[in-house]
Amino acid sequence: MEKTEREEEYLEEIRRAEEDGKKCTTTFLAKKLKISPASVSEMLKKLKTKGYIEYSPYGNVQLTDYGRDVGKQVLDKHRVAEEFLLMLGLDETEIHEEACRIEHALSDRVFAALSDFLKNCDKISPLSEMGEGETGVIVRIDTDAICRGRGHGRGYGCAWGALKRLSDLGFTPKTVVVVKRKAPLSGPVEVEIRGTTVCISQNYAKGIIVRKTEG
Amino acid sequence: MLRFALAGNANVGKSVIFNALTGLDQHVGNWPGKTVELFSGKLHFENQEIEIVDLPGIYSFDTYSMEEEVTREYIISQKPDVVINVVDASALERNLYFTLQLLELTPNVVLVLNQMDIAERRGMQIDVRKLAEILGVPVVPAVAVRGAGIVETIKAAVEVTGKRQRMHGEFKFGHEVEKRIRKLTLLLQKYSIPYPPRFMAIRLLEKDLQMRKLAEKIDRNILTAADILANEIAEIHHEACEAVISAERYAVCAEIVRRVVRKRTVRRKNIEFLDYISTHRVYGYLLLGGIIAGIFTFVFYTGSLIAAGMENFFEWLGSGYFARFGESRTTRIIWDGLVAGGIGGALGVVLPFVLPFYVLLAILEQSGYLARAAFLMDSLMHRIGLHGKAFIPLVLGYGCNVPACVGCRIMETERERTLAAFLSTLVPCSARTVVILGVTGIFMGIHWAIALYAFNLVVVFGVGKIISRLLPGTGTGLIMEIPGLRVPQPLVVLKQTWFRVKEFLVIAMPIIMAGSIAIVVLDTYGVLGHVNAALSPLIVSWLGLPAVVGFTLIFGVLRKELTVVMLAVFLGTANFAAVLSPLQMLVFTVVVMFYVPCVATIAALVRELGWKKAIAITGFEIGFALLLGGIIFRVGLIAGV
């Protein structure tokens, strides 16, 4: 059954109220959506016939199971869009409106890909920012971070060949590392890598980019 | 005569195997032009004399560190009959990384799978025969600390010498990389080069500086070709070519491990607990503090007992000597200068204080604890332009500055070595401790002595901070493997201690003896009086000390503890409190603590850093000590100490 953007907008709002535990009435929706109560009643009737909601006049609007699924999905898309916009550097005040437009354009496939990306983004950090006991996989070695501020040319003996020493000790992409210990006062990080324990100073740990994994 | 070389990573038990093979018949020599020491020894096996050389522990064959360069050049130019590659069976993946490179360099390899017991305890089962098959070289399982596998190793190595080995070139990298290695190898085959072409090709792609220089000398085209190929690889993988090669080599290692090792998870509660405590952010530091305090207390209590015994012994010997040879200028010079002053004086510090201190340190080092201490101290060391490893030479300095300077070789760059050596000469060695305890400690109370130690730490820290700003270049960081905790092997501990004490005996003893004779001669002929007179304005009006202190400071250049001995002689009493004010004692102690590295330390500085830096450091310390002494004197007067 085709659903319009407006319908999606309603279902999203009803779902949000349900999540927050608020009473969802015609007046409430009218205020939220900035629409006259009369138009809201009209739309609610339409939604009821399509089987999205149940309601009695002057009572609460309730989502059917089907309606809840749709509402939840739109809301999730809205949130992912907001998160993404925030990451792009947009202001918090403007992201809601923008996300309201994007949410309807997101196909399920793009939505899944985007939320996956955001999930991993969150997990990608320098080794220096991982906590004790956390496991990760090396994504890449940020040579600039490791050589930052040093007078040597890149690649050639940068910081006495620290890069080479790191890769000789097995700090190469796709390698699993476990953070065993972090010394206080931005001290070195002790990691388990390839069956051995190695400790590296904070300045090198900052240049080793890892993706956190479970266990 | 056959010649076998031992090679492998650090902390794999190479020296245990070396000791087991050669017994006590060992020599140490420097590689020409380098400060890397090579140990060698002899062994008789089935009527053959075999020379064993212990190469330094390294991770790869790049020439970033002297150890790596020396190992590579040794294998290429000295052509040992067999390279015995010792690997840690419990960290096979890491160790094979080196093995694969070694096999690019020479086919005459025997692999010793050492620490099989540890591997087993960690739940690893290694298929030795399969490993040998994959690598194409004999593999001997061993537990060197128990002597297991030693004879088998030699047998396998001797067998290898009988056969003509073929180069094992078949550890293939990924397709794109392999293709380009082959291309470069083919090109290199046209030239006469001292390395196997494939080895050199891989090094060139890894942008090894020395290989680049060599290639440039042979034909610039090689370098151009290598750069083009390396760039192609970098572009395909979006990563520096050397990183790609490391990653792919490790991939081969991981694959080999997957095929030969079966692993189950084993928990070892005791070790894990110790490991947990030793680097804990609170308990770790408490433990470190406790260990250091314990060592110092132990060393200085037992040390003073031994020192007293030795003093009595030399007194007894002296009375016998003068009874036999009579009192004359010559016998005085020989006794005071050479025997009591030179030999007795030098041993009087080494035997009671330095030796026990270094035994304890070697135990900590062998147990794997010092690496953990370096981990804990790294962030502090960063503040003075160094990193965690510098903690080790600094602590060595509390025993004797000479081995401390030599110990600075573990630092990676010239800048770090200079800074660490400089700072370790500011650390109060056991001779200076005799002064601190013997003057301030006894006559002003132990809290003053402890305060002076704390003050010294502040000075070391402050000077480090300033000098690290002044030295060109920027600081580097710590990259260090942390070995598993283990029970130290007595023989290895003794050897380690011996080689550190030997630094003292070789560098310091002859200089102390010569210097001692020189000073006694000068004193006998009244020259020192003039020097003292020249110094006296500085000593008396600037530092507020009795004029005779000038003498003691001259003697102190030989050995710092002589300052106290001579002070007692010149003042005519050992009860300093009767003739010196507390402020004077304080100024005296501080000046002695900093005023100049002793001759032996200066010699060590010259050897490690060269003349210029040694003179600069010495000059700085003389000026600094006098400045500090004068300031303390004036502040003390105002404060009314």
Closest CA to B112 of B101, B121, B126, B75: B126
Q: What is the pLDDT along chain A (215 residues), one digit of tens a residue?
A: 567 888 888 999 888 888 888 888 888 888 888 888 888 888 888 888 888 988 877 778 888 989 888 988 998 999 889 888 887 878 878 888 888 888 888 888 898 888 888 877 777 888 988 888 899 999 888 777 777 644 333 333 455 577 888 888 889 888 899 998 888 888 889 999 988 899 998 888 988 989 888 75
CA distance B233 to chain A (A): 15
Rounded Cα gap, residues B195 and B193, in angstroms: 6
Given an 8 Å threshold on Cβ–Cβ distance, is B279 in contact with A141? no
B289 pLDDT higher than 70: yes
Q: Where are the domains of chain B?
A: 2-162, 175-263, 283-474+486-639
CATH 2.30.30.90 fits A124-213, yes or no: yes
Contact B62 A186 (CB under 8 A): no
**Residue of A156, A167, A201 lying closest to B387 (CB–CB):** A201
The token duo for B291 is 């260990």
The arithmetic mean of pLDDT across residues B219-245, rounded, is: 89
Residue type, A2: E
Q: How many other C-beta atoms can be found within 10 angstroms of the C-beta atom of residue B213?
A: 12
What pLDDT sits at residue B461?
92
CATH 2.30.30.90, chain A: domain bounds:
124-213
Judged by a CB distance cut-off of 8 A, whether residue B613 touches chain A is no
Radius of gyration of chain A (CA): 26
B66 inside 8 A of chain A by CB: no
At CA B278, angle to CA A181 and CA A160, rounded to 5? 60
Does pLDDT of B82 surpass 50? yes
Residues B234-253, mean pLDDT to the nearest whole number: 88
Q: What is the pLDDT of residue A1?
A: 52
Which pair of structure tokens corresponds to residue B342? 């030179």
CATH no. for B175-263: 1.10.287.1770
Q: Which of B93, B476, B483 sits opposite A194 (nearest CB)?
A: B93
Task: Quote the CA–CA distance of A203 and B169 in Å, as a whole number.
Answer: 37
Residue with tokens 């507390």, as numbered in its chain:
B582
- A183–B379 CB contact, under 8 Å: yes
Point out the residue among B242, B280, B473 whose CB comes nearest to the CB of A164: B242
Residues whose CB falls within 8 Å of the CB of residue B333, separated by 6 or more in sequence, listed in order: B517, B520, B521, B524
pLDDT in tens, B110-145: 999 999 988 898 889 999 999 998 998 999 999 988
Residues of chain A with CATH 1.10.10.10: 5-106
Q: Which of residues 352-371 of B touch A (CB under 8 A)?
A: 371
Q: CB distance from B77 to chain A under 8 Å?
A: no
The reply to whether residue A198 touches residue B480, judged by beta carbons under 8 angstroms, is yes
**479-508 in chain B: CB under 8 A from chain A:** 479-484
Find chain B residues with C-beta within 8 A of A157's C-beta: 64, 209
For the domain covering A5-106, report its CATH number: 1.10.10.10
pLDDT tens by residue, B609-625: 889 999 999 999 999 99
User: What are residue B125's DSSP bridge partners?
Assistant: B262
Q: Which of B495, B469, B515 is nearest to B346 (CA)?
A: B515
User: Given an 8 Å threshold on Cβ–Cβ distance, is B62 in contact with A196?
Assistant: no
pLDDT at B400: 82
Mean pLDDT, to the nearest integer, of B313-329? Answer: 85
Contact B379 A202 (CB under 8 A): yes
Chain A residue closest to B240 (CA)?
A155
Nearest CA-CA partner of B248 in B176, B324, B148, B165 = B176
> For residues A203 and A189, is the Cβ–Cβ distance under 8 A?
no
- Homologous superfamily (CATH) for B2-162: P-loop containing nucleotide triphosphate hydrolases (3.40.50.300)
**pLDDT over threshold 80, residue B476:** no
CA distance A191 to A195: 10
Looking up tokens 């005071």 gives B336
Residue B505 has pLDDT above 60, yes or no: yes
Question: Sorting pLDDT into bands at 50, 70 and 90, what band is B98?
Answer: very high
